[in-house]
Amino acid sequence: MRLVRVPLGNRSYDIKIGPGLLPGLGKACVRLGLGNRCAIISDSNVAPLYGHRARQALQTAGFASVLITVPASEKAKSLKTVQACYDQLAAHRLERKSFIVAVGGGVIGDLAGFVAATYLRGIPFVQAPTTLLAQVDSSVGGKVGVNLKAGKNLVGAFYQPKLVLCDLDTLNTLPKRELRAGLAEVIKYGIIYDANLFAQLERDMSKLLRGNSQTLAGVVARCCQIKAEVVGQDEKESGLRSILNFGHTIGHALEAISRYGKYLHGEAISIGQVAAAKLSNQLLGLPATEVARIHQLFRRAGLPTELTLSASQIGDAFGAMKLDKKVKDGEIKFVLARRIGAVQFGCQVPEIVLRTVLQARS
Ligand code: NAD
Ligand code: GLY
């Protein structure tokens, strides 16, 4: 098992990464000194695979648990689902020391974390992420929340989990399209922080796509380490943390204008990162050879990289970007790359340059 610590003073926590970890969930919760009642929040795909296993592990360790299953969809990241979860927590008589376990992908982690942050003004929660995307990114760092019609993640909180348990065995049942979507966040860490990781991904992409467990373990741990280092320095995104949003301003806009139906999050940010690389070339001098390497790596991961927006869709995308949380004084701020492994945040992008990149076919 690999261990990464997220250093946040009295809110520090461990990320455990390895195969066969889910059966140890109950014992791990005992060590955290949590109350004896809990709720597992999962989705309709994951609950039959792992929800019951998680429940068994908690019950064996002496916890009384209820399993709350929500529909498997980005659309479940809504205030309506939050309300339905609150009702079930109340029915199960969860108290202040009770806790929530999120068993699922990023949708479940974000939703369950938001429910935990707000129910009884906050109860503890544990993340048991089951997608690659959630293991390398969304389960770590404490951003929790739900979507509004107007845009992604517009209601939420910074609320750290007590533990993140990444059982790599759960990735065996993950659909290939979802594995690829997770690779979009993995590649992101290479671009924003670690040129060696990027080069390793260029070498090992086919192993990762085959689900090679040794390679996955090393890569998941490295991504978690990077996220822990960034969040440890800037928990609430006053500066540095925004580098984690590379490609996300455009990606979130694509998700919003397609009403969270056409693209998976990872696919949208793949397109967004390739577009951000092109902007970086024009505005920060990211060498064209590096833009090409970035483009090629997303393609090799089997991810979409192309944009074909009509004039009215571009208008909608601008509208969505202006609602993004990265907007400051009405200006959309971008994270751009100087080279692979080094980025700059808070960059202004002239509207005309952005329009050209959004219109271009890759
Ligand atoms: P997801 O949660 O929708 O899961 C993807 C699909 O895979 C779902 O259909 C799910 O039911 C299924 N699934 C999950 N685990 C499985 C498994 N082990 N076996 C079989 N099927 C499985 O999507 P995701 O890509 O994990 O997360 C995307 C969400 O994460 C988005 O809402 C995004 O905004 C959010 N996100 C949040 C952060 C953050 O910092 N909080 C960071 C990145 C992304
Ligand atoms: N995924 C962006 C962040 O955690 O800040």
So which residues are the catalytic ones?
Answer: 121, 143, 185, 227, 237, 241, 245, 248, 252, 265
CB atoms within 10 A of CB 290: 20
Nearest CA to ligand 2 atom 2: 244
How many CA atoms does the CB half-sphere of 163 hold within 13 Å?
25
152-191 burial, b if ≥16 CB within 10 A, otherwise e? bbbebebbbbbbbbbbbebbeebeeebbbbbbbbbbbbbb
Q: Is 90 exceeded by the pLDDT of residue 123?
A: yes
- What is the atom index within ligand 1 of the atom nearest the CA of 252? 34
Residues having CB closer than 6 A to ligand 1 are: 43, 45-46, 49, 72, 74, 77, 104-108, 110, 130-131, 133-134, 137-138, 141, 143, 152-153, 170, 173-174, 178, 181, 264-266
Strand partners, 167: 18
Of residues 306 and 89, more confidently modeled: 89
Taking the complete model, does pTM exceed 0.85, yes or no? Answer: yes
pLDDT-derived band of residue 331, with 50, 70 and 90 as boundaries? confident
Residues having CB closer than 6 A to ligand 2 are: 137, 141, 143, 241, 244-245
Which CATH superfamily groups domain 181-359?
Dehydroquinate synthase-like - alpha domain (1.20.1090.10)
Q: How many whole angstroms separate alpha carbon 311 and alpha carbon 316?
A: 9
Domain extent listing, the chain: 2-173, 181-359
CB 114 within 8 Å of CB 146: yes
Cα of 39 vs centre of ligand 1, distance in Å, is 19
CB 115 within 8 Å of CB 85: yes
Between strands 331-339 and 342-348, the pairing is antiparallel
pLDDT tens digits along 267-324 = 999 999 999 999 999 999 999 999 999 999 999 999 999 877 788 888 888 888 877 7
CB 235 within 8 Å of CB 142: yes
Q: What ligand is nearest to the CA atom of residue 189? A: 2
Nearest CA to ligand 2 atom 1: 244
pLDDT tens digits along 14-59 = 999 999 999 999 999 999 999 999 999 999 999 999 999 999 999 9
Most ligand 2 atoms within 8 A of CB, residue of 241, 243, 325, 326 to mutate: 241
Q: Is 70 exceeded by the pLDDT of residue 325?
A: no
Cα of 134 vs centre of ligand 1, distance in Å, is 6
pLDDT at 260: 62
Cα of 311 vs centre of ligand 2, distance in Å, is 30
Q: How many whole angstroms separate alpha carbon 286 and alpha carbon 235?
A: 28
Q: Is the dihedral of CA 319, 324, 329, 334 positive or negative?
A: negative
pLDDT tens digits along 199-248 = 999 999 999 999 999 999 999 999 999 999 999 999 999 999 999 999 99
Most ligand 2 atoms within 8 A of CB, residue of 8, 132, 140, 143 to mutate: 143
CB 38 within 8 Å of CB 125: no
Strand runs labelled E in the chain: 2-6, 13-18, 37-43, 64-70, 99-104, 125-129, 143-148, 151-158, 163-167, 327-328, 331-339, 342-348
pLDDT tens digits along 58-80 = 999 999 999 999 999 989 999 99
Domain range 2-173, its CATH number among 3.30.70.920, 3.20.10.10, 3.10.20.30, 3.40.50.1970: 3.40.50.1970
How many CA atoms does the CB half-sphere of 139 hold within 13 Å?
36
